[in-house]
């Protein structure tokens, strides 16, 4: 790739990863523009700013841009973020589902809204500090190329789970400078480039929630208390509102004689169904909707894959089957039952290191009971 | 980066060389505290008094009617909170105050704060071309109205308000009143180009800023007509006639004095700037679906504000910055805000169309070449941005 005169817009958060990504692009000879995105945040006494983009983070990103001598712009996506990410998250919770805001943020904010800005800025590419790799492959006997999305070299940091919604057209214009680096190497590079980004704690919380998720949900949704029942329908107690519980949860149910686990949320009857038998949480099958194939071409099903049902889940062997009726829907059957398959979360399909695609978990077989 | 062209003089102006030169001694050897009795203090005291003299001459008032502040925002707060506080002590009954919907936030937010505190406030709307008509102010005045603030020229759309006419109206009304109505104007954007004779304008208070007239940042001034009830909002050593405590920013105040002097010297430049402005308006309106915001006639000689549909203002500003041209979407302050411009909303634009607004403001150092370059680049950028769809 000719790097000279190629313009890259890099999303900078003020953290170590995106800062090093920007530095590497600059060093490689690209014409780099740094952008910092403003996201919406709950406004509380304790927290006024989104964790991903506080004024401190903005100042750091700006300082890094200054050190690298690249132009730097702050883009205000608060309105888009509130509508597409926060409102969607709340809508899903209300339906008894747990969505992953990071997946949606990548889809709508980074790779739609920011992509448009990249073009406006005259950028040829958009770069992020994600730990993933992109590979360009030639298709045999064809002139066109295909872009593959691969797991990062650093398996601990791999973030491919969040990017299953990417399309070929997006991948074509994306650069992931950290895909071939380990976190340690990135730390050393930050030192080498003298970037003031070391020792900043990484947040695991949902970025737009002020104090706690429970407080946030109380403020934006109306919790409706109801009955806690076992699988046979026996009433065991009262719940505070289904929005506060997630599938597989053990702590905070408030029943004696446990431990009990949250098995299912029946939003229609406002029932929290629990079980004492943890084995009940394990299921073999799920139905995924909104399925996206990175290659853009749906493979011939059935195929064997490894499927990952949440960010911290180890991909497990499974077979993907066609479902009878709907397009972009796939039936996933695991070889062995998996714990707490949660509607609303993403399921991502891997073939060795390659992300084939993914979908949103719609139902599990439990739901059919 | 290509050459850098600055067309955002309403946000701030560069410091004039002569201003900087005048300031330098007070940043170096003449460092004394103006309140000190000794020689060092005497030097800086004299320097401040000289600026006061220049400001008084410029505004046609007496020296004791000028108070220096840390910014025009602070001067506005002193005018609004200070007068209302004094009146609250004097008048025991609830009273009414008036401002407009197109004020700078430095006036709007103090009024909103007073409203929260229980004071009755009317926010008068402008007409479609951004002028607050005298008859609307007249309509808003009640028997218990005691304070009115109307900006001299709008910072976003550059429209010039009929301050002299409103001043006349208020002084007429005051003739038949026991409790006088006090009249304040925020003249920050007006000083470079408009007559700021306070006798003519019939204002009781007037705010000005140094950094909008080629002076330094961090200096504002407030004219307070003798006899106007006012209380300080900052307490301390009793500087500035007890109205603004805090050791004076000597170099800054000296800079303001020089800047005021230069405004008079450069009055002849207004026609040139106005011609450049008209050239921009004419050319920009040739872009399909571009519309001028605010009156074409009653506007500052250096202000162009246009709505260009189908493009976001923020995108335009960034794209032009890449071409080396600095403009803005509205006020520099509004860049931090999520809300659409309150000024554009007040003149009847839809929230959506306020997003495509662009403010181009000219100044002393703007050249015709720069304008030609801008006019060459803008249509291309608009065309490109309108054609863009996501990858």
Provide the CATH topology of domain A282-368: Elongation Factor Tu (Ef-tu); domain 3 (2.40.30)
Q: Which residue of A has its CA nearest to B334?
A: A76
Closest CA to A222 of A345, A90, A97: A90
Instruction: Compute CA distances A151 → A8, A180, A237, A348, A361, whole Å.
Output: 22, 9, 45, 12, 21
**Longest pairwise C-alpha distance within chain B:** 70
pLDDT tens, position by position, B210-258: 999 999 999 999 999 999 999 999 999 999 999 999 999 999 999 999 9
Per DSSP bridges, beta strands A261-266 and A271-275 are antiparallel
- CB contact at 8 A, A101 and A208: yes
- Name, in order, each residue with C-beta under 8 angstroms of B295's C-beta and a sequence gap of 6 or more: B129, B130, B131, B159, B160
Residues of A with catalytic roles: 105, 207
CB contact under 8 A, A121 and B319: yes
The tokens describing A213, both together, are 């998720």
**Residue B322: its chain A contacts at CB < 8 A?**
71, 121-122
SS3 B108: helix
- In terms of Cβ atoms closer than 10 Å to its own Cβ (0-12, 13-18, 19+), residue A82 is middle
- CB contact at 8 A, A37 and A53: yes
Angle CA B44–B46–B51, to nearest 5: 100
Per DSSP bridges, beta strands B220-224 and B290-292 are unpaired
- Name, in order, each residue with C-beta under 8 angstroms of A76's C-beta and a sequence gap of 6 or more: A38, B314, B338
According to the model, what pLDDT value does residue A2 have?
Answer: 53
CATH number of A7-192: 3.40.50.620
According to the model, what pLDDT value does residue A337 have?
Answer: 93
pLDDT tens, position by position, A215-261: 888 889 888 898 898 888 888 888 998 889 988 888 888 787 778 89
**Residue A169: its chain B contacts at CB < 8 A?**
391
Give A211's DSSP letter.
S
Mean pLDDT, chain B, whole residue set: 94
Architecture field, domain B5-14+268-387: Alpha-Beta Complex (3.90)
CATH number of A222-276: 2.30.30.280
| Residue B229 C-beta-side C-alpha neighbours within 13 Å | 15
Mean pLDDT, chain A, whole residue set: 89
- Domain locations in chain A? 7-192, 222-276, 282-368
Mean pLDDT, range B128-139, rounded to an integer: 97
Q: Return d(Cα A241, Cα B124) in angstroms, integer.
A: 47
According to the model, what pLDDT value does residue A7 have?
Answer: 95
Closest CA to A247 of A90, A359, A364: A364
| pLDDT band with cut points at 50, 70 and 90 for residue B391 | low
Q: Is the pLDDT of residue A44 over 80?
A: no
Task: Give the class (CATH, top level) of B17-265.
Answer: alpha beta
pLDDT tens, position by position, B250-288: 999 999 999 999 999 999 999 999 999 999 999 999 999
Closest CA to B259 of B19, B34, B13, B4: B19
CB contact under 8 A, A116 and B389: yes
Whether B333 sits among the annotated catalytic residues: the reply is: yes
The CATH 3.40.640.10 portion of chain B extends over 17-265
Within a 10 A sphere around the Cβ of B227, how many other Cβ atoms? 10
Q: Return d(Cα A163, Cα A161) in angstroms, integer.
A: 6
The CATH 3.90.1150.10 portion of chain B extends over 5-14+268-387
A75 touches chain B (CB under 8 A): yes
CB contact under 8 A, B385 and A170: no
Q: Is the pLDDT of residue A1 over 60?
A: no
């Amino acid at each position: 790739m000719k790097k000279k005169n190629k313009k890259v817009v890099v999303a900078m958060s003020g953290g170590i990863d995106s800062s090093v990504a920007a530095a590497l692009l600059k060093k490689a000879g690209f014409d780099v523009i740094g952008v910092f995105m403003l996201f919406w945040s709950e406004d509380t006494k304790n927290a006024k700013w989104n964790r991903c983009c506080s004024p401190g983070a903005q100042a750091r990103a700006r300082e890094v841009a200054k050190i690298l001598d690249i132009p730097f712009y702050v883009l205000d996506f608060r309105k888009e973020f509130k509508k597409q990410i926060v409102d969607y998250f709340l809508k899903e919770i209300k339906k008894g589902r747990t969505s992953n805001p990071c997946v949606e943020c990548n889809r709508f904010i980074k790779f739609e809204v920011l992509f448009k800005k990249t073009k406006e800025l005259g950028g040829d590419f958009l770069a992020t500090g994600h730990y993933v790799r992109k590979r360009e492959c030639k298709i045999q006997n064809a002139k066109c190329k295909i872009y593959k999305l691969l797991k990062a070299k650093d398996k601990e940091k791999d973030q491919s789970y969040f990017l299953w919604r990417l399309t070929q057209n997006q991948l074509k214009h994306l650069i992931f400078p950290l895909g071939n680096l380990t976190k340690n190497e990135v730390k050393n590079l930050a030192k080498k480039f003298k970037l003031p980004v070391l020792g900043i704690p990484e947040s695991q919380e949902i970025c737009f929630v002020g104090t706690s998720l429970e407080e946030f949900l109380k403020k934006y949704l109306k919790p409706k208390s109801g009955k806690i029942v076992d699988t046979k329908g026996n009433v065991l107690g009262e719940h505070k509102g289904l929005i506060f519980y997630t599938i597989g949860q053990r702590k905070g149910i408030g029943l004696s004689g446990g431990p009990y686990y949250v098995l299912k949320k029946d939003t229609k009857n406002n029932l929290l169904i629990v079980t004492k038998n943890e084995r009940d949480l394990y299921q073999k099958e799920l139905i995924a909707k909104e399925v996206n194939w990175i290659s853009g071409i749906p493979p011939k099903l059935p195929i064997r894959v490894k499927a990952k049902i949440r960010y911290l889940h180890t991909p497990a062997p499974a077979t993907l089957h066609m479902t009878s009726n709907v397009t972009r829907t796939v039936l996933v059957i695991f070889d062995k039952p998996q714990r707490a398959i949660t509607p609303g979360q993403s399921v991502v399909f891997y073939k060795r290191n390659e992300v084939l695609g993914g979908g949103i978990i719609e139902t599990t077989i439990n739901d059919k009971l | 980066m290509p050459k850098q062209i600055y067309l955002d003089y309403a946000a701030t102006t560069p410091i004039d060389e002569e201003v900087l030169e005048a300031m330098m001694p007070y940043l170096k050897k003449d460092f004394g505290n103006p309140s000190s009795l000794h020689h060092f203090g005497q030097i800086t005291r004299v320097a401040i008094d000289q600026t006061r003299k220049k400001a008084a001459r410029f505004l046609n008032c007496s020296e004791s009617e000028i108070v220096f502040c840390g910014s025009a925002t602070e001067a506005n707060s002193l005018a609004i909170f200070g007068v209302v506080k004094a009146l609250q002590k004097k008048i025991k009954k609830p009273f009414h105050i008036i401002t407009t919907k197109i004020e700078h936030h430095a006036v709007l937010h103090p009024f909103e704060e007073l409203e929260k505190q229980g004071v009755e406030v009317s926010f008068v709307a402008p007409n479609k071309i951004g002028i607050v008509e005298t008859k609307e102010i007249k309509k808003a005045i009640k028997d218990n109205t005691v304070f009115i603030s109307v900006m001299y020229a709008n910072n976003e759309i550059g429209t010039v308000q009929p301050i002299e006419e409103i001043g006349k109206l208020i002084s007429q009304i005051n003739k038949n009143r026991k409790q006088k109505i006090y009249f304040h104007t925020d003249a920050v954007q007006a000083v470079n180009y408009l007559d700021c004779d306070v006798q003519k304008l019939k204002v009781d208070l007037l705010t000005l800023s140094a950094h909008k007239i080629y002076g330094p940042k961090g200096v504002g001034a407030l004219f307070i007509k003798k006899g106007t009830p006012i209380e300080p909002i900052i307490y301390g050593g009793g500087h500035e006639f007890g109205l603004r405590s805090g050791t004076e920013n000597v170099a800054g105040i000296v800079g303001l004095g020089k800047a005021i002097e230069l405004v008079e010297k450069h009055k002849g430049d207004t026609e040139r700037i106005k011609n450049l402005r008209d050239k921009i308006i004419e050319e920009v309106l040739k872009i399909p679906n571009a519309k001028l915001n605010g009156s074409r006639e009653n506007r500052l000689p250096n202000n162009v504000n246009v709505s260009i549909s189908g493009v976001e203002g923020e995108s335009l500003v960034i794209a032009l910055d890449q071409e080396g041209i600095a403009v803005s979407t509205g006020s520099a302050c509004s860049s931090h805000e999520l809300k659409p411009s309150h000024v554009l909303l007040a003149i009847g634009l839809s929230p959506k169309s306020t997003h495509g607004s662009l403010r181009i403001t000219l100044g002393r150092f703007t050249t015709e070449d720069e304008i030609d370059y801008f006019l060459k680049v803008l249509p291309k950028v608009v065309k490109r941005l309108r054609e863009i769809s996501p990858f």
